[in-house]
With several copies, the nearest count.
Chain A
Amino acid sequence: MNQQSDDLRELYRELILDHARSPRHFGRLEHATHQAAGINPLCGDKLRLYLQVDADNRIEDTSFEGTGCAISVASASLLTDTIIGQPVDKAEAYFESITKRLTHGEPAELDQNLEKLRALDGVREFPSRVKCATLAWHALHSALNQQEEPATTE
C-alpha cells in the first residue's frame, strides 16, 4: 500500500503536476516550418506540435496545443523546454533516448540537457501510461521527418 502510494507520487511528481497545470509554449506557432499531430489511441487525446526550424537546422521556436492527461501534457511541455534552441539532429537523438528509456526501461546515460526528463521515469511502473509520456516525442519525430498530415499514433 505504501509502495503503491509511492509509485503514484513518483508518477505525479511536483514537476509533472506543475507542467501539466501550466504547460510551457502552449498554443499555435504562427510561422511553423514543421508540424505533426499525435493521437493516443488509448484515450483519443490529440495534440499538435509546431516547430520553427531555421536555415542552420536549429529549432528556433516550438509550441504545442491540444488536450491530454497530466502525463502527456507535462511531457509535451518538458519537450518544448528541452528542444528549443537545439539542432534538429540533437532533437532527433533526444527522441531516440527518451522513447528507449521509457519504453524499454533502458537506463541509458542521459544528455545533461535531458536531466529534467527524469521526472517522467515514474511511468515505467505504469505500462499503460508509457504511451502518454512518449506521445509528444513521437509527434516530434513525425514533424522532423516531415510526415505531415495523417494523424500519427504509436
Chain B
Amino acid sequence: MTQAQAQLGASAEDWRKDFPILDQSVSGHALVYLDSAASAQQPQSVIDAVARYHQEDHANVHRGVHTLSHRATEAYEGARDKIRGFINASSRTEIVLTSGTTESINLVAQSFCRPRVGPGDKVLITHLEHHANIVPWQLVCEQTGAELVVAPIDDDGQLELEALRALLTDDVFILAMGHVSNALGTVNPVKEIIAEARQRDIPVLIDGAQGVPHMPIDVQDLDCDFYAFSGHKMFGPTGTGVLYARESLLDAMPPYQGGGDMILEVSFDGTIYNELPYKFEAGTPNISGVIGVGAAVDYLQSIGMERVAASEQVLHDYMVESLSEIDGMRLIGTAGNKTSVQSFLLDDIHSHDLGTILDHQGVAIRTGHHCAMPVMTRFGISGTARASVALYNNLDDVDRLVEALRKAQQIFA
C-alpha cells in the first residue's frame, strides 16, 4: 500500500480537487465514486466552459454572419480541431461529431454496411462487446440478410486470438470490436488484430468508449478504419460523441441523417451534400456539449494521457489486490492486460444488494449486466458488481470499497 501510494504520487489528489461533484457526502459518508465506466465526472473547467459559452457566446453555428454566430462556430470547430489532435487523426474532415458512441456505431452500420452487405456477407464482432456494438449489427443483419458472427473469449475474459484469426475470412465485411471491455476491463490487442484484418482487406471499427478516457490514442498508429467514442466517458458532457473515420470511406458513404447543414443545395429535384465531415452532421449540433468535450481534451492534455494511464494502472492493480484478499470474493475478468474496471461477485450476495449496501456507505459502484449481457451469459451469471476507477480516484477510495464490502458480508452473514 505504501508502495502503491508512492507510485501514485500526489498528483491524483490534485486532480481530484478539480471535480466539484466528488466533494459531497452521500448517506452521511464522503462520496466514493467508482462508476466512471458508466459515466465520468466533469472537471470545473468543463462545467465552466459550457456555462460561459451560454452566458457569452451562444448562437447557431455555420451559417451566421453575426458576431455571436462567428464566435460559436469558432469555438465549436476549434473543439473539433482539439479532438483531432487528441486522437491524432490526420485531418479534421475525419472527425464526425455525433451524440455518442452508440450513434457513431449506428452510423457506420447504416451508412457503411447497410447499402453494401447482403446474404453471404458476415459482420464479425466479439463476445466481449457492449450492446452498443452488438444491437446495431443485429439490426443491419436483419435488414440485409448478412450474418452476425461472434469471436469467443476465454475464462479470463480475453479474446481467443487464434479463433478470431480463423474467423477473419474473405466473406467478413467488417470487424467491429471494443478497445477495452466495459464489463471486464480487458484491453484487447487491437493494433495487432487491425494489422491482420488489413492484410485481408477487412475494415475494422474500434469501439473506443472505454479506451479514450484511460490511455493515449493514436488512430493513425492503430491504423483502424473507424474509431468511436463518447464525450461523457472522457470527462465531457453527455449527448456528445465522435466517429473517427478514414476520409476515403466517409467519401464513399451516403449520408446517415438528412437535414440542415449536411447539404450544399436542396431542391425538389435533388440535393447536393456538403463536404466532409458535415455530410454526416445533420441539424443543429450539440454546440455547448462539443465545446465541453474540447475543454475536457484541454484538461486531459494538461495532465498528459501517459500520466493518466500510469496513475490509473497503480490504482487498478491496488484494487485488484485488495479485492482478492476478501474471503468469498470471485473476480470476473482476470485478463493479463486490464484497465480501470474490476467486476466481481461476493459470496452469494446478489450484485444488486451489494450495490444498495455500498451506496449506503457512500460507495457508488455499478451492478447488473453493464449492457454486456452476452458476457454475463458466457460466465453463467446474471450480473456482477463493478468498480471502475478514473484519474480522480485514490487508494483511500479502494480501501473504502473493501470496508463496505465487508459490511455487506456482515449483513448477509
Chain A complexes with chain B: yes
Q: How far is the CA of A5 from the CA of B357 in the complex (A)?
A: 9
* A43 contacts B352, C-beta separation under 8 Å: yes
Q: Is A1 an interface residue (CB 8 A)?
A: yes
Q: For chains A and B in complex, what number of residue pairs have CB atoms within 8 angstroms? A: 86
**In the complex the two chains form, what is the Cα distance from A12 to B368 in whole Å?**
19
User: Measured between alpha carbons, how far is A128 from B65 in the docked complex, in Å?
Assistant: 6
Q: Is A45 an interface residue (CB 8 A)?
A: yes
Instruction: Write the nearest CB–CB distance from B41 to chain A, whole angstroms.
Output: 20
Within the complex, what minimum Cβ distance (angstroms) separates A9 from chain B? 8
Interface residues of A in 18-45 (CB under 8 A from B): 39, 41-45
Q: Which residue of A lies closest to B349 (CB)?
A: A70
The CA-CA distance from A11 to B27 in the complex, in Å, is 15
Q: Chain A contacts of B382 at CB under 8 A?
A: 43-46, 67
User: Smallest CB-CB separation from B369: which chain A residue?
Assistant: A44
Contacting pair A17 B412 (CB below 8 A): yes
Given contacts A68-B350, A127-B70, A129-B356, are A42 and B62 in contact (CB under 8 A)? yes
- Tell me, rounded to whole Å, the shortest Cβ–Cβ distance linking A18 to chain B: 12
B28 contacts A4, C-beta separation under 8 Å: yes
CB of B367 closer than 8 Å to a CB of A? yes
Q: Which residues of A contact B333 (CB under 8 A)?
A: none
Contact of A1 with B28 in the complex, beta carbons under 8 Å: yes
Shortest Cβ gap from A57 to chain B (Å): 29
A70 cross-chain contacts in B, Cβ below 8 A: 349-350, 353, 412
Interchain CB contact under 8 A, A41 and B274: yes
Closest to B274 in A: A41
B27, B29, B264, B412: the one within 8 Å of A12 (CB): B412
CA distance A71 to B373 in the complex (A): 22
How far is A151 from B382 in the complex, measured between Cα atoms in Å?
Answer: 17
Establish whether residues B265 and A42, one from each chain, have CB atoms under 8 Å apart when the complex forms.
no
Instruction: Assess the B368–A43 pair: CB atoms within 8 A.
Output: yes
Docked-complex contact A41 and B352, CB < 8 angstroms: no
What are the residues of chain A within 8 A of B306 when measuring CB–CB? none
Question: What's the minimum C-beta distance from B82 to chain A, rounded to whole angstroms?
Answer: 19
Number of interface residues of A (CB under 8 A): 30
B56-92, CB under 8 A of A: which get 1 and which 0?
0000001111000110000000000000000000000
Chain A residue at minimal CB-CB distance from B381: A67
Contacts of B411 in A (CB 8 A): 8-9, 12
Q: Which of A3, A12, A41 meets B353, CB within 8 Å?
A: A12
Size bracket, chain B contacts: 20 to 34
Q: Is the interface of B mostly helix, strand, loop or mixed?
A: mixed
Across-interface contacts of B353 in A (CB, < 8 A): 12, 69-71
**Smallest CB-CB separation from B370: which chain A residue?**
A44
CB proximity of A81 to chain B, nearest CB, Å: 21
Please tell me if B351 contacts chain A, counting CB pairs below 8 Å: yes
Q: Does A7 contact B (CB under 8 A)?
A: yes
Chain A 104-154 interface residues, beta-carbon cutoff 8 Å to B: 126-129, 132, 151, 153
- A7, B351: Cβ atoms under 8 Å? no
Q: How many angstroms between the C-alpha atoms of A1 and B278 in the bound complex?
A: 37
For window 93-129 of chain B, which residues contact chain A by CB distance below 8 Å? none
B373 pairs with A44, CB closer than 8 A: yes
- Give Cα distance in the complex from A70 to B411, angstroms: 12
CB atoms of A153 and B383 under 8 A apart: no
The closest CB in chain B to the CB of A73 belongs to B350
**A128 in complex: contacting residue of B278, B351, B356, CB < 8 Å:** B356
CB-CB < 8 A to A44: which residues of B? 264-265, 368-369, 373, 376, 382-383
Closest beta carbon of chain B to A70's beta carbon, Å: 5
Chain B residues whose C-beta falls within 8 Å of the C-beta of A12 in the assembled complex = 353, 411-412
The 8 A CB mask of B345-373 against A (1 = contact, 0 = none) is 00001111100110011000001110001
A128 contact set on B, CB distance < 8 A: 64-65, 69-70, 356
Q: Which residues of B contact A68 (CB under 8 A)?
A: 350, 352
Q: Tell me whether B272 is interfacial, beta carbon within 8 Å.
A: yes
Find chain B residues with CB under 8 A from A132 CB.
Answer: 352
Closest-CB distance, B346 to chain A (whole angstroms)? 13
Complex A-B, nearest 4 residue pairs according to Cβ-Cβ distance, in ascending order: A69-B352, A69-B350, A43-B368, A44-B369
A-B contact pairs, 14 of them (CB 8 A): A4-B27, A7-B360, A41-B275, A42-B62, A42-B63, A42-B65, A43-B63, A43-B65, A43-B352, A46-B382, A70-B349, A128-B69, A128-B70, A151-B265
A interface list, Cβ under 8 A from B: 1, 3-5, 7-9, 11-12, 17, 39, 41-46, 67-71, 73, 126-129, 132, 151, 153
Chain B residues proximal to chain A, CB less than 8 Å? 27-29, 62-65, 69-70, 264-265, 272, 274-275, 278, 349-353, 356-357, 360-361, 367-369, 373, 376, 382-383, 411-412
Q: A41-B275, A44-B369, A127-B70 are in contact. List 12 more A-B contacts (CB 8 A).
A: A4-B28, A11-B356, A41-B274, A41-B278, A42-B65, A43-B65, A43-B351, A67-B382, A126-B356, A129-B65, A151-B265, A153-B275
